[in-house]
Amino acid sequence: MGHMSGPYVIRGSVSLPEAELMWRFSRSSGPGGQHVNTSDSQVELRFDLAGTEALPEVWKRRALERLAGRLVDGVIAVRASEHRSQWRNRETAAVRLAALLAEATAPPPKPRRATRIPRGINERRLQEKKQRSQTKRGRSGRDWH
């Protein structure tokens, strides 16, 4: 798995535009051996959401709205530094970005419609509740002696 496994699918036929991904590498805080301070294994992946042409217009609007709090000038950033190897962190970051965009561009959920409950069922339930409370009232052991 030593290469970038290509295109990170967001949903359907839409995937992350490799060409528009901006990578930054820096020293990672986190686990590592003696080698840790010399290798730039922390990855920051930035993607210009506002400027991209790779997403359908509707998705883009949705994502800009939903991620508003995380955007800096229309750019979304994802970090990964769990792994000691840079390319695994790149994988992680790209996968995260794809997942984030998938979530942010998902169509809004359908409004929930209340299901009608047949009257009989409801009444039976109330009946059972009443009976139950009777049973429990009888248990309070006040009037036993």
pLDDT score for 92: 92
Amino acid at site 13:
S
Per-residue confidence band for 119, with pLDDT thresholds at 50, 70 and 90: confident
What residues pair up with 43 in beta bridges, in sequence order?
A: 25, 80
Reported confidence tier of residue 144, pLDDT bands at 50, 70, 90:
low
Which residue, among 80, 77, 88, 70, has the nearest Cα to 26 in the 3D structure?
80
pLDDT score recorded for residue 74 = 82
pTM value is: 0.62
- Residue among 41, 52, 19 nearest 91 (CA): 41
Checking if the pLDDT of 16 tops 80, the result is: yes
Distances (CA, A) of 115 to 2, 112, 118, 127: 52, 9, 10, 21
pLDDT at 101: 85
d(Cα 86, Cα 88) in Å, to the nearest integer? 5
pLDDT at res. 9: 87
Under the phi-then-psi rule, with left for phi > 0, alpha for psi from -120 to 50, and beta for the rest, what region is 57?
alpha
- Helical (H) or strand (E) element with 121: helix 119-138
Q: Which residue has the higher pLDDT, 57 or 145?
A: 57
So what's the pLDDT on residue 129? Answer: 94
Instruction: Decide: helix, strand or coil at residue 26.
Output: strand
Q: What is the pLDDT of residue 2?
A: 47
pLDDT for residue 28 is more than 50: yes
Handedness of CA 12, 13, 17, 18 (dihedral sign): positive
Span 34-55, pLDDT tens digits: 665 666 788 899 988 888 888 8
Using one digit for the tens of pLDDT, what is the confidence trace for 65-116? Answer: 888 888 888 888 999 988 888 889 999 999 999 998 888 888 888 888 888 8
